[in-house]
A and B are shown apart, each in its own frame.
Chain A
Amino acid sequence: MSSRVSPSVAVENYIRLQFPSKSENESFARVAVASFVAQLDPTLEELTEIKTAVSEAVTNAIIHGYENSFGEVRIECSILDHTVKITIEDDGAGIEDISVARQPLYTSRPDLERSGMGMTIMETFMDLMELESSPGCGTRVTLVKTVGDDPSQQPS
């Protein structure tokens, strides 16, 4: 990692997106984030992983947060050196018990043929996944991943 002259300049570049919770926006959201991240020269695999994680978070906001009523989904994606940080937030139902929700195969909507794998996919494909939620107010997911020629990720 290169050392920064001024620690207060913590964001090199960012985008913000906001859109109504319509399922047709899911592909737009993941493709927009992936196009933005492309400037870091990620591998195709890294880009697919980021796209998939964003798709999971946005889909959760639409299905679980807003339960198919309409609300706003907001995404912020920032990059600094080779690290991308993405937050996806909704003002929807929120999550009662985050540790239960994060368990692999846990879903509150088996009736919709959901598999309960979204959180596990986000955790596996990103370096870090953080969840903040308050019931009745909404949910924020933070995803962080270092891509491209990070010296700490030696090819094996």
Chain B
Amino acid sequence: MSVETLVHQEVLVVRLHGDLDHHSVESIRSEVEKALTLGGYRALVMSFASIDFMDSSGIGLILGRYKKLKEMRGAMALCEINPSLEKILKMSGVYRVLPVFPSEREALAHVKGVL
């Protein structure tokens, strides 16, 4: 598992790769947290385009970042969710609290509009 972070103006974009499970989530979380804190970003886009596998550990990661950005009055969006991921996210109510877009471009446009 690896994380690719890039910055689009005020927005931190995190592209997740590989397997997102309990074993990999800790280093991902600390990398995302570090990038958020160091850059002082108030907006986050998480892309799941290159995710091969995800279990409930991923839900914890998403909802944990959501809480944090909400406290900061920031904005967050998800994108590139494949069908099996979609099932887990719907089940756990992620779709009720976070906007989800087909492409990174649309997710970026959304969070920039909210800020």
Question: Which residues in A have some Cβ–Cβ distance to B below 8 Å?
Answer: 23-24, 26-27, 30, 45, 48-49, 51-52, 55-56, 59, 62-63, 104-105, 112-115, 117-118, 120-121, 124
Contact = CB atoms under 8 A, between A and B. Distances in A.
Contact of B57 (A51, A59, A105, A124): A59
Given A23-B23, A27-B19, A118 B56 contact: yes
A26 to B, nearest CB: 5
Contacts of A63: 22
- The secondary structure that dominates the B interface is helix
Interface in B9-55: 19, 21-23, 25, 29, 53-55
A66 to B, nearest CB: 13
Contacts of B19: 27
Contacts of B61: 113
B71 to A, nearest CB: 15
Interface in B51-92: 53-57, 59-61, 63-64, 83-84, 87-88, 91-92
Contacts of A49: 84
A51 B88 CA distance: 13
Given A27-B19, A48-B84, A55 B55 contact: yes
A113 B22 contact: no
A117 B88 contact: yes
Instruction: Pick the 9 closest A-B CB pairs, nearest first.
Output: A23-B23, A113-B60, A115-B59, A55-B55, A113-B64, A117-B56, A59-B22, A117-B92, A115-B60
Contacts of B60: 112-115
29 contacts: A23-B22, A23-B23, A26-B21, A27-B19, A27-B21, A27-B53, A30-B53, A48-B53, A55-B55, A56-B55, A59-B21, A59-B22, A59-B55, A62-B22, A105-B92, A112-B60, A113-B25, A113-B29, A113-B60, A113-B63, A114-B57, A115-B56, A115-B60, A117-B56, A117-B59, A117-B88, A118-B55, A118-B56, A120-B91
